[in-house]
Amino acid sequence: MSQAAESAQCVSDAIIDIATLRSLWGAPSVRILDCRHDLAQPDLGWQQYRQGRIPGAVFAHLDRDLSGKKTGFNGRHPLPRPEELVARLRSWGIDTTSRVVAYDASQGCYAARAWWLLRWLGHANVAVLDGGWPAWIAAGCPTSQAEAPTSTGSFEPRPALAAVAPVETVAESSRNAGQAGAKLLIDARAPDRYEGRSETIDPVAGHIPGAINRFWKQNLSSDGRFKPPAQLRTEYETLLLDRTPQEVIVHCGSGVIACHDLLAMHLAGLQGAALYPGSWSEWIAEPSRPVRRGPAP
């Protein structure tokens, strides 16, 4: 298969445009997840969902549905227990054969978390709505306040399609940054947070030593949709140099927006990078772990 064909296939299975979703809307096999969220106002997404949603969508709350229990040492949005996530997916009527579409109002940064989690459970037929809720509204598409029909799905987990990197691997890669065999650490946060110039969420500013910065919004065009796959590939290959995606670990503040970078890499045909779920908020929970401030060297 040619590189262009591979890229086209990646687009078709990882993002979906408004027209395609409208053509599929109402099909029994399609399940839609509303992932709207605001870190500063955790209940805002639920309020917005109640005011209006894509018809048939169920609400997936970042804190309650797409994250697990916090211990104080595993980050702000630890991964949910697989069996609990499976139960939640079934409660939303998701089957093993369902085509799942996730959307938000934040350029895909929360919907990408749902996309990654489903792939973590081995479900390949999941996509993010390109442009999300704002694009749906701008296109004049129908909305609803009606409760989504309830049913119990038959979802079963399968071998993971997404990789996870534990903190020990991240620490080793940080210590050996730049040396042969060390994983490349990519931080998806905004540059001011990465450099430690501004921090409004976590108690410590800065980044993991050795990590480079790829702000998740760099994955988007000016209209809020993902850049073309070929452009994303060029940009990420510039970061990776001669590394394969399997030699990359992506993180952020709490393992959420890092999924946006992973989705962009998937679109670019660069699959195989791992997520560090605990990310910066887990890293700084242990005071002995080193912190660096300033731009990347």
Determine how many CB atoms are found less than 10 A away from the CB of residue 278: 24
| Beta-carbon contacts of residue 115 (< 8 Å; ≥ 6 apart) | 14, 102, 126, 127, 128, 259, 263
Cα–Cα dist 91/251, whole Å: 29
- CA-wise closest residue to 131 among 102, 172, 99: 102
Angstrom distances, CA of residue 214 to CA of 187, 239, 251, 288: 6, 9, 10, 26
Alpha carbon distance 3, 6 (integer Å): 5
Q: Are 3 and 228 in contact (CB under 8 A)?
A: no
Q: How far, in Å, CA of 65 to CA of 182, rounded?
A: 34
Torsion, Cα of 65, 99, 97, 262 (10° steps): -60
Other C-beta atoms closer than 10 Å to the C-beta of 265 total 25
Whole-angstrom distance, CA of residue 246 vs CA of residue 249? 8
Reply yes or no on whether 141 is catalytic: no
Tokens at residue 79, please? 């991964």
Q: Which of 35, 109, 252, 259 is catalytic?
A: 252
Residue 238 DSSP symbol = H
> Are 276 and 170 spatial neighbours (Cβ–Cβ below 8 Å)?
yes
Spatial distance between the Cα atoms of 21 and 100, rounded to a whole number of angstroms: 11
Q: Which residues are catalytic?
A: 252
